[in-house]
Amino acid sequence: MRAIVTGCAGFIGSHLTDTLLEAGHSVVGIDCFNDNYGRPQKEVNLAAARDWESFELLTLDLAHGALSGVVSDCETVYHLAAEPGVRSSWGNRFDRYAQNNVVATQHLLEALRLTPQTRLVYASSSSIYGQVECLPTREDSTPRPLSPYGVTKLSAEHLCHLYFENYGLKTVSLRYFTAFGPRQRPDMAFNIFCRAALAERPITVYGDGTQTRDFTYVEDIAAATVAAGTLPTVEFGQAYNVGGGLRTSVRQALDAIADLTGRALDIQHVPREHGDVRDTGADTARARRDLGFEPRVQLDEGLQAELDWILAVAGGREVELAA
C-alpha cells in the first residue's frame, strides 16, 4: 500500500509512519514544520523513517499548498497534521487553529474528491466531547467542546462526514484520548512531569490532581490508526474512540512517575485552566468490533518508555525542562 501521513514529523504521526514502514507500506510524509515547538525534535522523530527507501518527505502547508497531484495515487491518507493544544487555542492564536485544523482539512477533502476510492483516516480528539455526562463515553454522546481547539477538531470531523454523505468519500474519524509515550510534545503534561522529576524540579499541576484521563500509549494509537486505514470492517462516515481503557487520576500518574524515578516529587497546585475538562474515558466497544482494537501497553510500562526516551534524548546531560 502507498499511504500518505500528514503531520508525519509530530508525536503520533512519526510513530504511525514508522509502523506503516515496518509493515511494508510505502509512505509519503507531509509536514509543514510549524513553530508550535522546535524543528530539531521533529527531525529526530523522523530519523528512523529516513532510513527507509520507501519513505518520501514533502514539506507542505495543507492549508495553502496544491494537493491534488500529491494524493492522486495513494490508497490511504492518514490525516494527523493539526495545530495542537487546548490551553493555547484561546485568544489571538485561534486563527492558526482555524487554518491548520479546519481549512487544511477542507483543502485535503477537496483534493480527494478527484480520487473517491482513497480512504481518509482523520485524527480527531476526545476534546470534542467537553464535560461529559456519562463515563465511559460513547461515540453517540452529544459533543460539547470546552475549548476552541475542541471546536476546530469537531468542525473537521463534520467536514469529513459531509464529504462522505455528499461525495461518497471513504472517511473515518478516530477520537484519540490523551496520548503519551516517547516523542511526546514538550508542552504535554507527561513530558513536563517526567523532565521535572528527573531534574528534581517543582511540578505544576492545574487543579487538585483528582481529575482523570484515559491515558493511551502512542503505539496502541498507531495500531488502531493503521487498522482504520486498512481493514475492510471499517464503517465509513463514522467516528471511533481510541482510548487506553483505564481512567487514571493525575495524582495516580504522578505517583507512578515518582515510583519509576525513585524520587519524591515537589508538586505545586494552581487553579485549572480554561478549557480543561474534569474527566475523560472512552467506550471503545465500536473500535474493538470494527478495528480489532486492543490496548496493550499499560500506564507504568508506557511511562517507563517515555522516561527512557527523555534520558536518551538528553544524552546523559542534565535534563532540562522544555521551554
Residues involved in catalysis: 149
Q: Which residues pair with 2 in a beta bridge?
A: 26
Q: Which residues pair with 270 in a beta bridge?
A: 206
DSSP 164-218: HHHH--EEEEEEE--EESTT--TTSHHHHHHHHHHHT--EEEES-S--EE--EEH
DSSP 12-44: HHHHHHHHHHHTT-EEEEEE---TTS-HHHHHH
Task: Give every CB contact of residue 5 below 8 A, 6+ residues apart in sequence.
Answer: 13, 16, 17, 20, 27, 28, 29, 30, 78, 80
Count of beta carbons in the 10 Å neighbourhood of residue 101: 25
Task: Tell me how far apart the alpha carbons of residues 323 and 302 are, in angstroms, rounded to a whole number.
Answer: 24
Task: Tell me how far apart the alpha carbons of residues 140 and 319 are, in angstroms, rounded to a whole number.
Answer: 43
Amino acid 288 reads R
Nearest to 83 by CA among 68, 96, 71: 96
Contact assessment for residue 5 and residue 56, using Cβ atoms and an 8 Å cutoff: no
Q: Which residues pair with 248 in a beta bridge?
A: 213
